[in-house]
Amino acid sequence: MQINVVKFYSDYGVCEIKKNTTGEYVGLCPACAQHTFCFNKDGQFCCHYCRQSEYAEGAEGNVITYLRDHHGMDNKNISIILEKYNMKNTQAKRSLISCFIEGGYFIIARKIFDSAIWRDNPDLLKLFLYLIGKARHSSVPKNYPGFVINRGELITSLLEIAENNEYTELDGHKRKWSNPTVSRMLTRLQKHNLIKKIKDTYGTHITICNYNTYQNHNNYQEDLQKKSNYIVGGYFIIARKIFDSAIWRGNSHILKLFILLIGRARHSNNPENYNGFNIQRGDLLIKLSEVVDANEHIGTNGRVQKWSKPEVSDMLEKLEQQKLIKIISNIGETHILSVCKYNIFQEPNNYAVKL
C-alpha cells in the first residue's frame, strides 16, 4: 500500500504532509512554517527547526511500523523496506531514522550483579562488555576467506582490543592494556565460561558463550510464576555507542558504578513513594554502605578490595559532571539518583541500524 498523504492533527491546526517526486514526505510544520521531514519511533513527524512533534495518522503498514516491528534488521533489509515506499533518495533514508540511536544495543541480564564476573576486576568486566557489544549480532553469518563469523562471534586481535580500550586514569594519564594483559584477561573470561577463544592465523576468534540466550528479549521474565527456564530478573540495555563515549575512555571503576546504576534503576512505569519522594522510572535510591558491601571485587594485585564511601561519593559526582546521572537528594549516606535519558536508552524501539 502506497502512502501519499499523511495529516497532522495538532493544537496548531491541521497540516498535510505529501510525498514528492523523489519519495520524500514534505510539508509545512504548523508550528514554525518550515519545510521538514522526519519520522520517529511513535509515528510522529518531528520538525528539525522548532523541535515540535505531532502525531501523524497514516495507513496501517507505514514505514514506521516496519522499522519498529523489524527492529534489528540489517541495512539490506531496511533499504528494501524504504524502496518499497519509493524512498530511494539517500538523504531521505538518513532523515527517516535521524531521531533513532545509531549503532544498536546489546542486552545485559540483571543477574550479572550476582555473578563471578561482577566480583572480579573491573577491567575484566569492561572487556567482557566490549566483546559482547562488538560480537556479530546479525543472524546472517559473515563470510571471510577461509573462515565464517556467526552470530555471537568476533574476530579481533590483542592489539586491536588494547587500542580500542585506551583509557584515562583519575590522575589524568592515558593508559592502555598491554598485549599480555589482554591475553590474561581473555584467559580469565574463558575460565569464567563467558567466552571461548581460538587463536588462528587470521587473529583471535572469540565466541560469546550463550549469546543467543542472553541477547533474546523473549528469554527474560520478572514473574517467578512463569516458566522456570526463563532468565529471572530481567535485563537492561547498553547502547553500542558507549564505546565512543567519555565514560568508556575513563576509569573502569566509574564505568562499573554507572552500569550498576543503570541496572538497579527503577524500570517499572509505576512510581514508588519513599519518604515523600516519588521514585520514577530511571530513578533509584542507594546507600553508600550498601554500594560498598555489594561491590567487593578483586584488585589488580589479586586481593579482594572494596570501594570506600568517599570513593563512591566522588565517583557519583564525576558521573553527574558527565551528565550521566542527576543527584536528586542527598540525605546523609542515602542518595536518590536519576539516570539521565533512561527512558530514551532503555527503549528498544529507539534504536536503528545506521544506513
Across the chain, what does the average pLDDT equal?
Answer: 77
For the stretch 257-294, pLDDT in tens is: 999 999 999 999 888 887 777 899 999 999 999 999 98
Flag whether pLDDT at 90 surpasses 50.
Answer: no
Flag whether pLDDT at 308 surpasses 50.
Answer: yes
Which of helix, strand or coil describes residue 248?
Answer: coil
Give the start-end residues of each E strand in 125-276.
Answer: 142-144, 147-149, 153-156, 167-168, 174-175, 195-200, 203-208, 220-221, 231-232, 235-239, 272-274
Work out the end-to-end distance of the chain between its first and last CA atoms, rounded to an integer number of angstroms. Answer: 24
Flag whether pLDDT at 110 surpasses 60.
Answer: yes
At residue 288's C-alpha, the angle toward residues 175 and 112, to 5°, is: 65
Check residue 247 and report its DSSP letter. Answer: T
Q: Is the pTM of this model over 0.75?
A: no
For residues 111-117, average pLDDT: 94
Domain ranges of the chain: 5-99, 106-350
- Please choose, from the candidates 78, 84, 52, 107, the residue with its C-alpha nearest in 3D space to the C-alpha of residue 354: 78
The pLDDT of residue 229 is: 63
C-alpha 106/C-alpha 348 separation (Å) is 10
User: What's the one-letter identity of residue 3?
Assistant: I
Residue 32 confidence class, pLDDT cut points 50, 70, 90? low
For the stretch 134-171, pLDDT in tens is: 999 988 888 877 788 999 999 999 999 999 998 887 66
The pLDDT of residue 57 is: 36
